[in-house]
Chains A and B, each alone.
Chain A
């Protein structure tokens, strides 16, 4: 298919989105990510039945927490993409990239650049 997606995106692979935890998303932001999105299987198609639904709830929890801290909750998103749907994967990547470009850099990032986080 030779599809392209923005090179601003770094992929972290998980066996199932059910593996993701709030701390993983929080730490991504703390270490300087401007946005995070979780790309899970379509709802109803999880091989482990509810992994993607759990991930969705964790994304929502993290969003609320980010809002509490004063970091725009829109910076985090959950998408359901069929494993075989390359075009949709590229489309979502572009969509998220554009959304984050509009929001600008994360408020924690300035300090991160100075090399604070460990």
Chain B
């Protein structure tokens, strides 16, 4: 899932300081699961903003809505009937959702309430870790299914650096060295020889270094 977390409250207040009526839009997908921008968090932000305004002696009217997804036009369009009644839209989706709203509602200010962090996985309640950077040419087939792009601080492709110590990355004792994990896993699978093939220079053009990316499926296009 895409993992995000709420921006500092002051930053959000700063966006809407001059508004009288706002629409807070949550998203029912990733950000609901990582407890950052679902229906519940929309309610809490709405309550918090109203209180912050009350404190200043001002009123704030808030419409709370949580779309099924903010990264699909059919759901984004659901706001079209009433969005113009509000001074601004605060999106609690990931950066993708914020942009879909901004592109769909050209005449409306749209602000992000979250910082979008990474593509990751839940590691128990309240903990999420980065797992993939969307490099566009997945190497997991050669690394025992563990990603050295996203999970090695240096994105090394041919084994660990000299800083790997007791299974931990040199950047922090709380971060596993993914190369240690890869080696342990391939050893367990009796497949360590897989690492003898030297990785050629990786093509980063499909990793975003060649500009914004796009996927087109001719068979699905309307």
CB distance from A48 to the nearest CB of B (A): 16
For the complex of A and B, the 5 pairs showing the least CB-CB separation, nearest first, are A68-B9, A26-B47, A111-B54, A108-B54, A107-B55
Assuming A68-B8, A68-B9, is B40 touching A26 (CB within 8 A)?
no
Interface contact B57-A69, CB-CB below 8 Å: no
Q: Number of contacts between A and B (CB, 8 Å)?
A: 47
Known: A65-B44, A70-B52. 10 other contacts (CB 8 A): A22-B40, A30-B47, A65-B9, A68-B9, A68-B10, A69-B48, A69-B52, A69-B55, A116-B59, A117-B50
How many of chain A's residues have a CB under 8 angstroms from any CB in B?
A: 19
Asked whether A69 and B9 contact (CB < 8 A) given A107-B55, A108-B54, A111-B57, the answer is yes
Q: How far is the CB of B89 from chain A (nearest CB, A)?
A: 21
Interface of A: prevailing SS: helix
Interface presence of A27 (CB below 8 A): yes
A112 within 8 Å of B (CB atoms): yes
- Shortest beta-carbon distance from B34 to chain A in Å: 15
A65-B44, A68-B10 as given contacts; A29 in contact with B59, CB under 8 Å? no
Structural contact, A108 and B55, CB atoms closer than 8 A: yes
Query: A108 touches which one: B40, B44, B51 (CB < 8 A)?
Result: B51
A105-118 near B? 1/0 per residue, CB < 8 Å: 00110111000110
List A contacts of B159 (CB < 8 A).
none
Q: Is A78 an interface residue (CB 8 A)?
A: no
Known: A23-B40, A23-B44, A26-B44. A71 touches B8 (CB 8 A): no
Is B120 interfacial (CB 8 A cutoff)?
A: no
A102 CA to B31 CA, complexed, in Å: 40
Q: How far is the CA of A23 from the CA of B64 in the complex (A)?
A: 14
Q: What 0/1 readout, one digit per residue, does chain A (24-46) give for beta carbons within 8 Å of chain B?
A: 00110110000000000000000
